[in-house]
Amino acid sequence: MSDKNMEKDAITGVETTGHEWDGIKELNNPAPRWWLIVLLISIIWAVGYWVVYPAWPTLSGDGERGGTKGSYGWTQYQQLKESQAEIVARKAAYLDRFNNADFDQIKADPELYAFAVAGGTSAFKDNCATCHGTGGSGSAGYPNLLDDDWLWGGDVDTIHETIRVGVRFTHDESRISEMPAFGGMLSEDEIGHIADYVLSFTGEAYDGPGKALYEDQCAACHADNGTGGRDFGAPNLADAIWFYGNSKGDIMSQIRRPKHGVMPAWEHRLDESTIRQLAIYVHSLGGGEN
Amino acid sequence: MSDNAAPIKLFEKKERIFPKRVWGKYRKVKWVVMITTLAIYYLAPFLRWDRGPHAPDQAILIDMPARRGYFFFIEIWPQEVYYLTGILILAAVALFFATSLFGRVWCGYACPQTVWTDLFVWVERIVQGDRAARMRLKKAPWTFDKLWKMATTHALWLLIGLFTGGAWVFYFNDAPTLLEHIVHFDIPWSIGGWILALTFSTYLMAGFAREQVCMYMCPYSRFQSAMFDKDTLIITYDEDRGEKRGKHKKGESWEGRGHCVDCTACVQVCPMGIDIRDGLQMECIACGLCVDACNNIMDKVELPRGLIRYDTTHNQEQRRQGAEEVTASAHFLRARTVWYTLVLCVVGGLMLYSLTNRATLELHVLHDRNPLFVTLSDGSVRNGYNIKVLNKAYEDKHYSLTVHGIDGAEIRVQGAGAVDASALPVFADSVGHFRVFVSAPKQADARTAITFELIEVNSDASLVANATTYESIFASKRR
Ligand code: SF4
Ligand code: SF4
């Protein structure tokens, strides 16, 4: 080793490799061989990944997005499916108990109740939120499900029935109620008088022709004192909650040519268990009646 | 080498090190530390600590599925992992502290890598004999004797590894129950996988990688060296006294020569395979075995001990200049050690304080955002809240929830059964989730500050002092 190029580093006494960068010289300290072996093993290990997982892009492969498929047949969709199956399996433990319990039993059992509310929450977001809003508070023409004002009734059974058959829908048993359009039958003045009278239920006292007109035309469904009637889904006009707005104009427009919302029947679209979970969930939002 | 380029060797096979057996003070300390640390490691999961019927009775337990950590009287919940940060800071500062005082004592005595390697070398020695015998055996042809000895060594190593992995999983499960399951091979693959992984890694690290771990993998070895100063205790070879070294025959004079008899005892016992006489080296883990070895030799040649010893470079300089050695108090009392002590005390004190004063009751209130409020038919307004009650006590409890800051507020709990705000039930060591509605007349402001108060109640409905509050808001349509 008496090479003339051999140069020893003064401080460490180690030979240099002769490589030099800006005066910094590389010492000839060999790395341990096991380190190299570990590196090689890692590379071989990586080859395993090419084989078992989708790895190589090809122009027209049979993998998820082209490319090689991998011997495990792993895909993201497959993984998603498996995770979902896991959730379904976990739910199955409760589902049986849930299906065999009536609403009163569910409301008394913390576990089943939590299960129903959780299931209902996600079903609501998927199916109902489009109209009723993700928080269930609705908007003009779409009922707010959180308050204590119900068109058809707010106990769990009634809510369940409404979800099942829908409102003004093609379902045979669908809830039907249609307020006639008074636009042709009454004059604009008369309609205005009625609106004034309706506003008086929640506002200042009114003593005019509207009262008689209301009693003639409207009281049959909305009741003399304006409290409405759940048998026909007639809204309560004497509370603080308004379906289509509470200005005189809003009310006149609704008398002249009422808007009628439609709610689809969910029977046959959702399974019975989901509908029951939805009923419990909607009932839990704060306005549920007993 | 005939060609004139420097021979660049990129990789090199590492020579196996066969540390020789040694007796002495530091070896004894090492045995004691080894036995204590291993005993703690293997037995600690079996210690019991009574926490009542609603919590596990294992003194040290990390309960992953239940998300709880137990350490004797301490229990932490997932949101309290900052205690772990505290422990890590403590551990780091303690390591700095010990290093600045005594050098790499951690490496030499307490590091698991050192302890297990020591144990494995001991097994090796029991089965195959001391250094010379082991070296001979390595070179020997594969006879039945060699095969048998090798097989026994590796089997014992694997067995120790198995126990190491086996003990590990006990920290995460109820130890006696799990032991029963392990004995009957009735364990899930997750636990079996941990045992196998740790068996294998112990076998690999303590059986084969050994000093390579300290030299190439361990970050601590590097930053400990960075913390050395001239007052740090290091293993030193007293060059002034030792040189000029050379063989010595009994009766010969010591005049004109050094005290090192060049017996290489210090080299033979070194688990890192270095010659400390070349001066302090990165590899030295300060285990003190060469000190023992050299002292034994000095005794034999009837010279004073301490040719190799724990010393500081400061002392060496002083001696060279004929000055006094640094006194122990001056050595230990340095700005650096004082600072470390201070940090240790502050962090340790803070942790101890917060752990002993840890509230067993916590309340969290989340106001609904969608919608912020609901108008009811009578014109009043209702707000919804999600409420979490953290009962960290080991008993089932009831709490009364009230709301302050708003007139005529009514509070209602929505849930299964007949839950009432005056007695919210929360199980021992768990979180109670409640859906709570507060209704009140329409407010003057869109947003009114309110306070929820939670008070523990006894079974006879009397209030207990344990209470907590949470600030929230009540949103309303303006009056
Ligand atoms: S260098 Fe690292 S692995 Fe080696 S003894 Fe020190 S702390 Fe342990
Ligand atoms: S030189 Fe001495 S103290 Fe350092 S590792 Fe070797 S035997 Fe231990």
Assess if residue A241 is contained within a domain: yes
pLDDT band for position A190 (cuts 50, 70, 90) = very high
Total of domains in chain A: 1
Token pair of B31 as six digits: 């045995």
- Across-strand partners of B386? B366, B435
pLDDT tops 60 at residue A1: no
- Average the pLDDT over B378-401 and give the result: 94
pLDDT band for position A6 (cuts 50, 70, 90) = low
Cis previous bond, B244, omega within 30: yes
- Average the pLDDT over A180-189 and give the result: 94
Distance B291 CA to ligand 2 centre (A): 8
Q: For residue A166, what is the domain's CATH number?
A: 1.10.760.10
Atom of ligand 1 nearest to the CA of B211: 4
What does the pLDDT read at residue A69?
A: 83
- Average the pLDDT over B160-181 and give the result: 93
Assess if residue A143 is contained within a domain: no
Short-list B418, B294, B339, B346, CA closest to B90: B346
Assess if residue A63 is contained within a domain: no
What does the pLDDT read at residue A58?
A: 80
Distance B122 CA to ligand 2 centre (A): 17
What does the pLDDT read at residue A64?
A: 60
Q: How far apart are CA B127 and CA B111, in angstroms?
A: 25
Q: How far apart are CA B235 and CA B26, in angstroms?
A: 12
Q: What is the extent of the structural domain holding A241? A: 148-278
Assess if residue A135 is contained within a domain: no
Of A23-27, A134-138, B233-237, the one with minimum mean pLDDT is A23-27
Per the model's pLDDT, the better-predicted residue between A66 and B195 turns out to be B195
What does the pLDDT read at residue B152?
A: 96
What does the pLDDT read at residue B7?
A: 65
pLDDT in tens, B300-341: 999 999 999 999 888 888 888 888 877 777 777 888 889 999
Question: How close is the nearest chain B Cα to the Cα of A22, in Å?
Answer: 20
Q: Tell me, yes or no, if B278 comes closer than 8 A to chain A by beta carbon.
A: no
pLDDT tops 50 at residue A2: no
ipTM comes to 0.84
Q: How far is CA B329 from the centre of its chain?
A: 30
Assess if residue A88 is contained within a domain: no
- Across-strand partners of B399? B424, B456
Q: Which residue is closest in CA terms to ligand 2's atom 4?
A: B284
Q: How far apart are CA B150 and CA B156, in angstroms?
A: 10
What does the pLDDT read at residue B108?
A: 94
pTM of the predicted structure, to 2 decimals: 0.80
pLDDT tops 80 at residue A59: no
Short-list A194, A243, A238, CA closest to A214: A194
Asked if residue B251 lies in contact with residue B233, where contact means CB atoms within 8 angstroms, the answer is no
Determine whether A147 is exposed, middle or buried from the number of CB atoms within 10 Å of its CB (0-12, 13-18, 19+).
buried
Assess if residue A10 is contained within a domain: no
The DSSP 8-state label assigned to residue B79 in this structure reads: G
Short-list B257, B56, B254, B283, CA closest to B170: B56
What does the pLDDT read at residue B2?
A: 41
pLDDT tops 90 at residue B411: yes
Chain B residues touching residue A7 (CB < 8 angstroms):
6
Q: How far apart are CA A194 and CA A173, in angstroms?
A: 33
Q: Which of B234, B236, B290, B307 to mutate to test the pocket of ligand 2 (most atoms within 8 A of CB)?
A: B290
Cis previous bond, B371, omega within 30: yes
pLDDT band for position B266 (cuts 50, 70, 90) = very high
Q: How far apart are CA B22 and CA B292, in angstroms?
A: 7
Q: How far apart are CA B171 and CA B41, in angstroms?
A: 10
Assess if residue A253 is contained within a domain: yes
3 state SS of B262: coil
Assess if residue A115 is contained within a domain: no
3 state SS of B22: coil
Distance B209 CA to ligand 2 centre (A): 17
The tokens 């195959």 sit on which residue?
Answer: B128
What does the pLDDT read at residue B356?
A: 83
- Average the pLDDT over B434-450 and give the result: 94
Long-range CB contacts (< 8 A, 24+ apart) of B119-127? B119/B34, B119/B38, B119/B160, B119/B206, B120/B157, B120/B160, B120/B206, B120/B207, B120/B210, B121/B19, B121/B271, B123/B153, B123/B156, B123/B157, B123/B160, B124/B153, B125/B21, B127/B152, B127/B153, B127/B156
The DSSP 8-state label assigned to residue B278 in this structure reads: G
pLDDT in tens, A208-264: 999 999 999 999 999 999 999 998 899 999 999 998 988 999 999 999 999 999 999
pLDDT band for position A61 (cuts 50, 70, 90) = low
By Cβ distance, the residue of A112, A147, A288 closest to B374 is A147
pLDDT tops 50 at residue B1: no
CA of A1: which chain B residue's CA is closest?
A: B1
Chain B residues touching residue A288 (CB < 8 angstroms):
414
Ligand closest to CA B220: 1
3 state SS of B71: strand
What does the pLDDT read at residue B389?
A: 96
Q: Can you list the domains of chain B with their CATH numbers?
A: 25-81+99-225 (no CATH), 229-326 (no CATH), 361-475 (2.60.40.10)
By Cβ distance, the residue of B14, B375, B384 closest to A241 is B375
Asked if residue B289 lies in contact with residue B27, where contact means CB atoms within 8 angstroms, the answer is yes
Write the DSSP string, B128-153.
Answer: H-SHHHHHHHHHS---HHHHHHHHHH
What are the φ and ψ backbone dihedral angles of B366, each rounded to 5 degrees?
A: -120, 115
Interface mutation target, options A11, A241, A277, chain B, most CBs of B under 10 Å: A241
Contacts of A209 (CB under 8 A, 6+ apart): A190, A193
Q: What is the 3-state secondary structure (H, E, C) of chain A?
A: CCCCCCCECCCCCCEEEEEEECCEEEECCCEEHHHHHHHHHHHHHHHHHHHHCCCCCCCCCCCECECCCCCCCCCHHHHHHHHHHHHHHHHHHHHHHHHHCCHHHHHHCHHHHHHHHHHHHHHHHHHCHHHHCCCCCCECCECCCCCCCCCCCCEHHHHHHHHHHCECCCCCCCECCCCCCCCCCCCHHHHHHHHHHHHHCCCCCCCCCHHHHHHHHCHHHHCCCCCCEHHHCECCCCCCCCCCCCCHHHHHHHHHCCCCCCECCCECCECHHHHHHHHHHHHHCCCCEC
What does the pLDDT read at residue A237?
A: 94
Per the model's pLDDT, the better-predicted residue between B223 and B375 turns out to be B375
Q: How far apart are CA A110 and CA B415, in angstroms?
A: 7
What does the pLDDT read at residue B459?
A: 79
Average pLDDT, chain B: 91
pLDDT in tens, B8-57: 778 888 889 999 999 999 999 999 999 999 999 999 999 999 988 888 99
